[in-house]
Amino acid sequence: MIIYAENGLWYDTLTELIKLRRQNSQDAELKADWEELLKSPQVGLPNIASEPIVSCCQSK
């Protein structure tokens, strides 16, 4: 995951971080990494950095 971020592949970094956060929702380090990524100038999403992770679009 770090290799993605270091090479400017923030979309892939975001995808991997969300997978890890869903598996380990209480991990403070993952939460900090998530917020740092979203607040970075490359991503530019500081307004949603502290919003909770929710499930979306589940088929029934």
Torsion of CA 29, 30, 36, 38, to 10 degrees: -160
Phi, psi of 16, rounded to the nearest 5 degrees: -65, -40
pLDDT value of position 27: 93
Tell me if the pTM is above 0.85.
no
Tell me: the pLDDT tens digits for 1-59? 566 666 767 788 888 888 999 899 899 999 998 898 889 888 888 998 888 887 776 66
Domain spans, the chain: 2-48
